[in-house]
Amino acid sequence: MNIQIYGTAKCFDTKKAQRYFKERNIRFQFVDLSKYGMSKGEYQSIKRALGMKLDDLVNEKSKKYESSFIKYLASEEAKEEKLLENQELFKTPIVRNGKKATLGYCPDEWKKWEEEK
């Protein structure tokens, strides 16, 4: 498995996801969205893997949600650009395993990944 966890250091569910993989001795790479972020290509790949619309990926409870004005943008492209500029707006954790991905704390899905090895 090639696990990447996208999240922030302060996110409780991101910490739970990291603990899940640590307890099972599964190596993972943690990407702190507030420091490093993800590229547009990674974003597109994750969005495809999740099979979700852009609005499903945006955390409306984020502190930056109101100040970013993302909900007032008309086009999908403008929203994506704003999301990639302010990656703290992503719902987290985003856990990626190759071409598969989950959004949020999903231990049942991760267990399936382990069984597929």
Q: Which residue do the tokens 């949020």 mark? A: 104
Burial of residue 102 (CB within 10 Å: 0-12, 13-18, 19+) is buried
What pLDDT shows up at residue 117?
67
Mean pLDDT of 18-33: 96
Residue 1 has pLDDT above 90, yes or no: no
Mean pLDDT of 36-51: 91
User: What b-and-e string marks burial along 17-42, b requiring 16 or more CB atoms within 10 Å of the CB?
Assistant: bbebbeeeeeebebbbbeeebbeeeb
Tokens of 39: 């590229």
Amino acid residing at 41: G
How many structural domains does the chain have? 1
Task: Tell me the average pLDDT of the chain.
Answer: 91
Give percent of the chain above pLDDT 90: 56
CATH of the domain at 87: 3.40.30.10
Best CA proximity match to 90, nearest among 3, 1, 27, 13: 13
Containing domain of residue 71, as a range? 3-116
